[in-house]
Amino acid sequence: MRQNSTAPRNNKLKPSSNLIMNGSVRVRVIRTLLAIQNGQSLSSVLDPLLNSLHDGDKGFAHALLLTTLRQWHALARLLDSLADNPIEEIEVRTTIQVGLVQLLYLEVADHAAIHETVEAAKEIEFAHSTGLVNAILRKVAKNPSKFRKKCDKKHSLPNWLAYQLKQDWSEQYDELTQGLRQPAPMFLRVNSAVTSVEDYQHALDGAEIDADIVELTTGFKVANSSESAAATLSTKGLRLHQSTSVNALPDFALGTASVQDMHAQLAAPIINKALMAKLSAEKPDTNNEIHILDACAAPGGKLAHWLELMSANDESSLFHVKQDDAETSPAITDIKVTAIDNEAPRIERIRENLQRLNLSQHDLQQAEKSVALNIVCADATRWQHGKNKKAATNEPVFDAILLDSPCTATGVIRRHPDISILRTEEDIEQTALLQADILHNLWPQLKAGGYLLYVTCSILKQENVEQMQDFITHHNDAVVIEFTEDCNWGIEQAIGRQCLPIDSASGDGFYYALLQKTAE
């Protein structure tokens, strides 16, 4: 997807999948930024950039690239105010913005920032612009604090997105738009099947990595056979004081911990707890075998978390569900897990992540508990469970569905600042339609009494609470499960709760809504 520029540009980039990585560090960063403006994602170009550099240059290149992206739109507005005439060449604009970041945010010495940026303009074959590049950067270098304040005064988002956030979050708007310009903290999810959060914190201490335990409490109303009750759960994770390489984390390669945003760590415990409530309320002979679905599962973090909870030897395991009539209630003997995603490379990512965490089908087969895992490459708008089997009926089969829905990902701009360049206003409507198609396809496959947890990493209401309101309007068998005041995360919505990436120490922007299907 392409993002419209902030100024008219006649010299458009030509589509290319080849990212040339030669020249100075600044030139390589400039070429990477041009590739992003040409539609490539940060995740696809970051490794090629860093792998092309000597170890001593990687830190600077990473900071220069990420900071430029985070301040992109604010820098573009500043550049427009500094230029006597519109600068239409995208290569020149990008080069100057890279120079501005060095002067305003990275505290690079004036002479080095200006000289190296001018030289970079020559290297990318825009020598005709060196006078302009030099003049603008020298002007800023005379009073960097003045121009830094000017750059920081407003948001650094495309105007259409800023306007929409103003409409959706007027009270939180200033904090939200400034928060999106900051780096996100690094959180860890500890594999509860292997060790405890407290023990892993001690291991981090031994590795001289400082981390705090973060605990999120969730309460929601559930219905059992006798009365309406409240289910509560606590989720613990670790927030590092400073981001670090995963290679420095103790036993990371052995699957002891995973990097996962704290708000993302809510998904598996919520749907797991809801499913446990369903099973506890059922008749004793109905739940020897359960079937669950993780839709749009890549890269597999939430799926892995759910499998970890199943494998744990504590009350979070579905195998430990107790019913009212414990003496006559058979234990759950089999759990069938289906995970789908629509791209083969993303499916491979799921397999790789599960392999590291010792959660592949082979690993699950070796465990005492019977968990069958089936990973399918399929389109969630059309996929039907068992449709390729001769005796397929496509009747409701799932006891619970975790839908990590496609979205504009506006809630994770702090981690993926290229989103503010790649997304367009038209993407919102298209994404909302896609979400609705997926919901309408999956809902009939959920059993009566089953739960669907709808999750996005968006902060736009059209993709979240408004999507849910529209869904329940058209599905009389959908009941909203309300989150209670026990929750210490997010903002209560008409349906569900919304986390906003405002606090520099808190998680990303996530939306959660829990639905239960009633008998028709």
Cβ within 8 Å of residue 362, ≥6 positions away: none
Taking each helix axis as running N to C, give the angle between helix 90-104 and helix 55-70, from 0 to 180 degrees, rounded to the nearest 10. 100
CA-nearest of 411, 408, 406, 407 to 422 is 408
Opening angle at CA 467, ends 502 and 430, nearest 5: 90
Cβ atoms 350, 303 nearer than 8 A: yes
Quick check: helix, strand or coil at residue 253?
Answer: coil
Opening angle at CA 303, ends 232 and 308, nearest 5: 65
487 catalytic residue (yes or no)? no
Backbone dihedral angles phi then psi of residue 168, each to the nearest 5 degrees: -80, -35
The tokens of 462 are what? Answer: 């059209």
CA-nearest of 181, 473, 174, 195 to 314 is 195
Cα 107 from Cα 405, distance rounded (Å) = 40
Opening angle at CA 21, ends 16 and 25, nearest 5: 130
DSSP structure string for 57-98:
HHHHHHHHHHHHHHTHHHHHHHHHHH-SS---BHHHHHHHHH
β-pairing verdict for 446-456 and 497-498:
unpaired
Alpha helices in 126-196 (DSSP H): 130-142, 144-152, 159-168, 173-179
Cβ atoms 400, 451 nearer than 8 A: yes
Cβ atoms 145, 104 nearer than 8 A: no
Cβ within 8 Å of residue 124, ≥6 positions away: 23, 27, 30, 31, 91, 95
Residue 263, number of CB atoms within 10 A of its CB: 27
Count the residues in the chain: 520
Residue 42, number of CB atoms within 10 A of its CB: 21
Choice among 151, 296, 407, 457 that is catalytic: 457
Cα 189 from Cα 192, distance rounded (Å) = 9
CA distances from 73 to 1, 4, 175 (A): 17, 11, 17
CA-nearest of 453, 509, 467, 496 to 176 is 509
Quick check: helix, strand or coil at residue 124?
Answer: coil
Catalytic site residues? 457
